[in-house]
Structure 1
Amino acid sequence: MSIAQIIQNAWNKQSKWLIALRPLSWLYGFGFGFNKFLYQSGIKHKYHAPIPVMVIGNITVGGSGKTPLLIQLVKYLQSKNVKVGVISRGYGGEGPFPHQVTLDSIPDVVGDEPCLIVQSTGVPMAVGSNRREAIELLLQHYELDLIISDDGLQHLALDRQLEWIVLDNNRGLGNQKILPEGYLREPVSRLEQGTVIEHAHEPHSHLHMHLEVAEPYLLNPQFDQASIFDPTLDYYAVVGIGFPKRFYHTLETMGVCEFQCHEFPDHYDYEISDLHFEDMNPIITTEKDAVKLLPLLKKHPSYQREIWVVPVEAILSEQCYQLLDQQLGALGIQIH
């Protein structure tokens, strides 16, 4: 088990030994705060895009539900004839950057989440650690009204007009300590500076979302796609996401009670050997993992085990859409 995985497990359990990492948290906090001061004072310069920028992010390490939220917002804006584009760091991709994401892009080049976003929406998208270059690449090819940044809440070099911060109440804020003693990227007070979208089935805020499960589908291209999903079977739950417990909870709500957990690091680069087990029980996984597994299956057409994918959709409260319409209207972007 890697050091990163050991720390991740300690965060989830809020282990007491994490206090030993407090000096590193102080160092991280000082460095982040000093960098923030440099941008606020103008010593470091921010990039101001020629069109409004909206950032969707979180203050925690690992999954919070921001990608399903982004996908849903893109679909909503597209339905309202808003010309929207998306940028992302492209974590897990090897580039070269900046790089446009298309339906033919592969995760090894642009990252897994960008592939999922474009496959789900067809939105114009570019990736790269330099957000300015990604935005300029998009604007060379498209006339857009709005740029949405997938993550990048802590990317201070990018000026933004809107910030939506996803707060996953299913996971919470742990011990409320910043990295590495806890899994916060910024102090809890950061939540006071943006629009907080509560991710919870029993929310306390009017601005909330939850994930709704759709019918699972077979990933294997050579199998009969008319096959019916059977929740009573034994499954291997193969996941490489930031917060695997959410996926396990989803399986339980679907009636899948018999599954063995096989966790990999977030954005993991799978090998076909990771999908081999002693028997032929099926695998069940997330859409994010599926975008990496499908190219692997195409390289190994003899692989015969069923792999089922569980799609999820972000369901937003009506107040989220009302607020978005108001915020965009204040920026001169009319929702029709």
Structure 2
Amino acid sequence: MKQILLKAWLGRGWLACLLWPLAQAHGLALRLRWALYRKGLLASEGFGVPVIVVGNVVAGGGGKTPLVLALVKHLQAQGLSVGVVSRGYARAGHSTLEVGLQTPIYQSGDEPALIKRATDAPVFVAAQRTQAVRALLAAYPATRLVLCDDGLQHYALRRDVEIAVFDDRGVGNGWLMPAGPLREPWPERQRRGLDLVLHTGQQPAFEGFSSRRALADQAIGADGRTVALGSLQGQRLVALAGIASPDAFFDMLRARGLTLDQTLAFPDHHNFESDDLAALAGQTVLCTEKDAVKLFSMHGLPSLRLLAVPLAFAPEPAFFAALDARLAPLLSPLPSRHGHQTT
């Protein structure tokens, strides 16, 4: 034990080592909870349609929502009626709600609003994802498949396909929270039936499918007009982002030859106020599409030129082929593989 702790202290940081007992307790609690679902002592609920859960094993954003957008469009292109559920992180209230194009962002959350606007699929949010699925299917009984944005650890929702998304952080120091970034033990979580692993970064840390992340060629204004990104080269620009990795957005802008006089990084899911932008009056400001769903709807927005730069996200074709192979038998009445209700 002393050798293990010494090695950890040298390789993983002193703070992580101090938090190691808490991480161990966290791991025991996770394994107990998992066992209770496996034994049927805690119930998981199915709804008679296939459910795909897209989530993280690592805390923080890793590209879940861009993947959900890509999945919805991929499935819609096959003629499938797809619905999306989410907890609606950082939204006000806990009620079950259908997200419409005019739903205030503070009620829906930014990511559900983005999904609705980008796909026009039915999107429901609720404190418990099972509640959201129940409401979605009641309102849209022709739904053939449900996508859950986040929720790998929400075992109360029976799922048929589990997809874990990783960025360039990989699994970090490999320890559970709070000593590390892991929500669940890895690679133990993978052995428990995870179906697909998708890497959204440039340097995958282990085996899995890859994806391409790049900025779209067109920026979009609040009025819907588009501006060629290349036409902004040589101009003095400001960039802001309230996402998990703001620097990644700024770096992609610079890689497209844009000059950023100023960058403003806000916390993920930041609720913007006019004061955040007051000093930017008269400037051209670039933001992410996720931030734009809030910023474009703000009242009293200072006089500035605000442009959203969408992300062009494309998993490799082999990822979609593997997904389609798993979905083919599930689109007929078969029981969920990840119900956690049997041994």
TM-score relative to the length of structure 1: 0.86
Match of 1:88 in 2: 86
The CA distance in 1 between the partners of 2:58 and 2:113, in whole Å, is 23
Shift of 1:256: 2.4
Aligned residue runs from structure 1 range 80-119, under 5 A:
80-119=78-117
Distance 1:236 1:182, change over 3 A: farther
- Structure 1 gaps, min length 5: 1-13
| Structure 1 residues 330 and 259: CA distance shift in structure 2, 3 A | farther
- Aligned-partner residue type, residue 33 of structure 2: N
Rounded to whole Å, the distance in 2 between the matches of 1:110 and 1:332 is 29
Deviation string, structure 1 residues 157-200 (Cα, Å, up to 9, x no partner): 111110111121x2322212211222211122123431111224
The residue correspondences of 1:197-212 to structure 2 (distance < 5 A) are 197-201=198-202, 207-212=209-214
The one-letter code matched in structure 2 to 1:149 is C
> Do structure 1's residue 132 and structure 2's residue 134 form an aligned pair?
no
Distance (Å, rounded) in 1 between the aligned partners of 2:313 and 2:72: 12
2:306 partner letter: I
Structure 1 partner of 2:52: 54
Change (3 A) 1:167 1:280: same
1:62 counterpart SS class: coil
* 1:235-268 deviations in Å (ceiling 9; x for gaps): 3332111122321221222122434332222111
Deviation at 1:17? 3.0
Shift of 1:134: 0.7
**Could you tell me how far apart the structure 2 residues matched to 1:268 and 1:34 are?**
34
Counterpart in the other structure of 1:246: 248
Residue 22 (structure 1) aligned to one of 9, 20, 35: 20
Rounded to whole Å, the distance in 1 between the matches of 2:73 and 2:153 is 25
For 2:228 and 2:166, how far apart are their aligned partners in 1?
Answer: 37
Instruction: Say if 1:61 and 1:183, in contact at 8 Å, map to a contact too.
Output: yes
Query: 2-side partners of 1:248 and 1:187: how far apart?
Result: 32
Query: Measured at CA, do residues 50 and 291 of structure 1 come closer, stay the same or move farther in structure 2, by a change above 3 Å?
Result: same
| 1:1-336 superposed matches below 5 A | 16-142=14-140, 143-168=142-167, 170-189=168-187, 190-192=189-191, 193-194=193-194, 195-201=196-202, 207-221=209-223, 229-277=231-279, 280-296=282-298, 299-300=299-300, 303-332=302-331
Q: Which moved more, 1:140-149 or 1:243-252?
A: 243-252
Q: Matched residues, percent identical?
A: 33
Partner Cα separation in structure 2 for residue 186 and residue 33 of structure 1: 9
In the TM superposition, what is the alpha-carbon distance from 1:224 to its structure 2 partner?
7.4
Greater Cα offset, 32-41 or 197-206: 197-206
- SS of residue paired to 1:246: helix
Deviation at 1:89, TM superposition (A): 0.6
Contact 2:218 2:227 in 1 (8 A): no
**Normalising by structure 2, what TM-score?**
0.84
> What is the SS of the residue equivalent to 1:235?
strand
Q: Deviations over 1:79-137 (max 9, x none)?
A: 11111111001111124521101111222001000000010000011111212211111
Structure 2: tracts of 5 or more residues without a match: 1-11, 334-343
2:199 alignment partner AA? E
- The Cα offsets for residues 13-37 of structure 1, whole Å up to 9 and x where unpaired, read as x764343322332232232222222
Query: Does structure 2 conserve the Cα–Cα contact (< 8 Å) formed by 1:95 and 1:110?
Result: no
For residues 39-88 of structure 1, the C-alpha deviation after alignment (integer angstroms, 9 at most, x for no partner) is 12211111112211110111111221121111011111111111111100
> 1:231 and 1:333 mapped to 2: Cα distance?
52
